[in-house]
Structure 1
Amino acid sequence: MTNLSTKLAALEDSGKPIQVGIIGAGKFGSMYISQCHRTKGVHLAAIADLSPERALNSLKRTGYPTHLYDSNLSLAEGLQNGKTVITSDAAAMIATPGISVVLEVTGNPSAGIAHALLCIQHKKHIVMINVEADVLAGPLLARRAREAGIIYSMAYGDQPALISELVDWARTAGFDVVCAGKGTKHLPQYHYSTPDTVWDYYGFTKQQLETGDFNPQMFNSFLDGTKSALEMAAVANACSLSPPSDGLKFPPCGAHDLPQVLRPAGAGGVLERKGMVEAVSCLEKDGRAVFNDLRWGVFVVIEAPGEYQRECFAQYGLKTDSSGWYAAQYKPYHLIGLELGISVASIMLRGEPTGQTQTWAGDVVATAKRDLKIGEKLDGEGGFMVYGKLMRAEDSLKIEGLPIGLAHGLVLKRNVRKDMGLSWTDVEFSEKSQAVAFRREMEEIFRKEFGVRKGNVVSARL
């Protein structure tokens, strides 16, 4: 029998493990670090972090064996001696001969673009855990990676990759995908949450917060809907599915009700049409817990293509909608960084990404949490000023939507009303920024491909 684990074991036996470099030793990176040394055929060659001390602390607190790392060695010496080394220079790590796969885990969209372009330059496969960068520029990054002959992949264990896997299962088995998505915790008022209110809403204990793994602005980006919008945009782009026309609805829904709720409106559901993405909430609108919720899970809703298949749904006990035509498959949990090794193995042993941007279907536009005034400086994803709203890419282009991934540090030159989507015309920006220039280049490429003209956004301002 030949599978990923046996192929990895063969690499271990041959003394030729996969050499991996990781950029970022935060929560997700630490989860991978805690597991990678347990996988045969894989060697964590280097950890790049702006704070070497943080990287060292990650090794220590995750139980990484002390004999496997040496923070005093150079990158070349570490590879030669089979040790994990620490560096603050991600560019040098990417350029190091011998490293085959780079894991981008910074969460910083501008850094993610820079690192991906360096991987393309140096012919290194990249796992883009940085969904912010993937949604900001993934459609063009993936295209450039294919041209360079490297693999640009989503991260297994993160929800977009797991959803993409379910979509692939459905299509490979011959089913049409009605809806694909994830569970989360959301109420309409959460859109306006700030780092000052996030812990009141989130539900972590004081003891959990004291561990130091919890950044309030980062976690607020999950709560205010931004992260769900980013992840569903990534899924739309990877699976050629359609975002809702007015953002995610976050309908309350338990796992047992997925096919009942997530079916087209014409059949009694909440979807505009078949072939969409959506996120379901684990809370009812009044704040009560949803029965059998899917807060940590992912799902795909499929349709029986004929009466015979519909009968099979019933015969094999699938939970369907009331008509029997729609059914769901789901995974109740995801383990994010603990599962990330699947991506490394799939890329190196099968030549396949674990999910990959294929088109530009969805975008996430910065949307005002409150009335914003001329001269204010945007504070980015999960902050006090804006949240990310999922939009169709064509609609974003029409309004010259300001992507949430770049809504940090830019100064407003117009007033913007609460709940309005921001435009490039609302902010001062410079295309001397690599991330801005690359995103603007992508917009122009797809504007031509879509045949979309710029719309009038001035009338929407104060």
Structure 2
Amino acid sequence: MVYHHLYSKFAKQDHVRAGVIGAGAYGTAIVTQDPHTPLLSVVAVADISLDAAKGAYLKAGFEPSIIAYADSVETADDAIRAGKRIYTDKPLLVTELSAVDIVCESTGIPEASAVYALKAIENRKHVAMITKDCDVTVGPILKKLAREAGVVYTPVDGDQHGLFIQLYEWAKSVGLTVISGGKATDGEFIYDAETGVARIVTDKPIHAPYQASITIDPADRKYLEMIPAGCAPEYVARRATILGGLPQPGSYDLCEMTIAANYTGLSPALDTLVHAPLRITEIPVAYCEQAHGGLFDRSGKIDLATCLRAPAESGLGGGVFLVVRCDNAYSNHILATKGQIANYDDTAAVIYRPYHLCGVETSTSILMAGLLGIDTGSDDYLPRYDLVKIAARDIQAGEVFGNDHSPQLTARIVPAQPVALGNAACSHLLTGNRASVDIPAGTLVTYDMVEEPTDSLLWSLRRQQDQVFLMQKRAAAAPHLEKA
């Protein structure tokens, strides 16, 4: 990496002071890396739980004597000038501090996230957007507003979609053709061929109807062997049935891939994504074009993979991957024969990063924004796709919609539509709001099925985003439609 060269030669200031809003697992990891990260200081942490905000500093090893509570901008700025780190239960305060260069928004609550991000931008602070629920809903307009304010709005290293965007940009910069790409789910399927038992390794709780392990019927075990040439569609379809009793990807997985699609222009082959259980060696076999034995009708697809491996094999570690080729025959020979894992006819190879370190590695995005004034995403961030929801069970009028972890709803990725009655509702405009009608299981939730909250900044920003991007796109297409 050349980060140290960039920082030493091109930095616009000599240090970055960050404020973290939301001291959950991700935000806390940013704080705990502070003592070990050159050029970065987390000077403020906010959370509605004071114990969580203060606890982030204590977990980082800061002495209690230099941690101070603040409930006003004046008190906080004075404490920071005196060399203290402040914690607060007033998140907006962080966006107003003169001592903060960049706000790391990690509340996980889309409405609150929009409020804090916009306020930070208005106060000329950079924003590291960790709350994907907000980013997938109004990220493009926030990025545009930040650019107009002369500050940075960035996805973050550590989150899978942020890492994937960088891997994609790297591939394009060296002239690789991206056939497909995506992220690995955090859970991995471990299959013991001797016992016929498949189990999941995950840090997430397992809820019915899923279970932690299943025994594979002897007649089905061949489908968990390496996919033979020309058999990817059959094997992937059979595995979906055979391994369906193990926990499957969640709405939060599709959320990250929606953001990545909006940054890269890659498109889902299915609105649910394929999310096949695959060995690393099978990714280029299955996730290439049909002409070469894969699943996709053409290149440029985005998807998920759940790593399928033997107990002693290494996995994907919740990392990210690309399936690529070189369009020059000699270059492609190099790609396919110098240690990369290729498909059967050497027309595609997988390049992967087998880890994502969450807040532990987010400092690169924070420092790139704070020192250099650049983001670690891409400039082409457009509302191409929306994450939308399907009722997983009957929902009663007046019932509150849950978030991406709720079993109440399942997710789909569809082309973005503006807020309008009858259109599919962007999923996180539902979160925390009430159903206006009874919604039968299996129904796509549309805007006329949700009670719009009063004075919602998230909804307002979404309408602004629609006006700036979707309406302009339709207007630009109108003359062509008339000619046709």
Q: CA deviation at 1:108?
A: 0.6
The residue number in structure 2 matching 1:4 is 3
Q: For 1:348-427, what aligned pairs fall within 5 Å after superposition? A: 348-356=370-378, 358-393=381-416, 400-427=423-450
TM-score scaled by structure 2? 0.79
Q: CA deviation at 1:35?
A: 0.5
Alignment pair present for 1:197 and 2:207: yes
Q: CA deviation at 1:66?
A: 4.0
Alignment pair present for 1:307 and 2:332: no
Alignment pair present for 1:264 and 2:274: no
Q: CA deviation at 1:295?
A: 4.7
Over the aligned positions, Cα root-mean-square deviation in angstroms equals: 3.2
Gaps of 5+ in 2: 190-199, 214-246, 476-484
Kept in 1, the 8 Å contact 2:319–2:355? The answer is yes
The residue number in structure 2 matching 1:247 is 272
Q: CA deviation at 1:18?
A: 1.2
Greater mean deviation of Cα atoms: 124-133 or 339-348: 339-348
Kept in 1, the 8 Å contact 2:418–2:470? The answer is no
Alignment pair present for 1:234 and 2:244: no
The residue number in structure 2 matching 1:113 is 114
1:74-121 per-residue CA deviation (whole Å, 9 max, x = no partner) reads 211232122210112222221111311110010111111111111121
Kept in 2, the 8 Å contact 1:160–1:355? The answer is no
Alpha-carbon distance in 2 for matches of 1:119, 1:102: 7
Q: For 1:68-147, what aligned pairs fall within 5 Å after superposition? A: 68-71=66-69, 74-147=75-148
Structure 2 CA distance for partners of 1:251 and 1:160, relative to 1, 3 Å: same
Alpha-carbon distance in 1 for matches of 2:410, 2:154: 26
Partner-residue secondary structure (3-state), 1:155: coil
Structure 2 CA distance for partners of 1:198 and 1:161, relative to 1, 3 Å: farther
Structure 2 CA distance for partners of 1:11 and 1:447, relative to 1, 3 Å: closer
Q: Percent identity?
A: 26
Structure 2 CA distance for partners of 1:395 and 1:148, relative to 1, 3 Å: closer
Alpha-carbon distance in 1 for matches of 2:373, 2:135: 20
The residue number in structure 2 matching 1:440 is 463
Q: CA deviation at 1:325?
A: 1.3
Q: CA deviation at 1:16?
A: 4.8
Alpha-carbon distance in 1 for matches of 2:13, 2:84: 14
Q: CA deviation at 1:30?
A: 1.0
Kept in 2, the 8 Å contact 1:7–1:349? The answer is no
The residue number in structure 2 matching 1:346 is 368
Task: For 1:252, give the aligned amino acid.
Answer: P
How many residues align? The count is: 424
Alpha-carbon distance in 1 for matches of 2:312, 2:397: 42
Partner-residue secondary structure (3-state), 2:267: coil
Alpha-carbon distance in 2 for matches of 1:395, 1:311: 46
The residue number in structure 1 matching 2:481 is none
Kept in 2, the 8 Å contact 1:387–1:404? The answer is no
Partner-residue secondary structure (3-state), 1:150: coil
Alignment pair present for 1:278 and 2:277: no
Q: For 1:16-35, what aligned pairs fall within 5 Å after superposition? A: 16-35=14-33
Alignment pair present for 1:326 and 2:327: no
Alpha-carbon distance in 2 for matches of 1:451, 1:29: 39
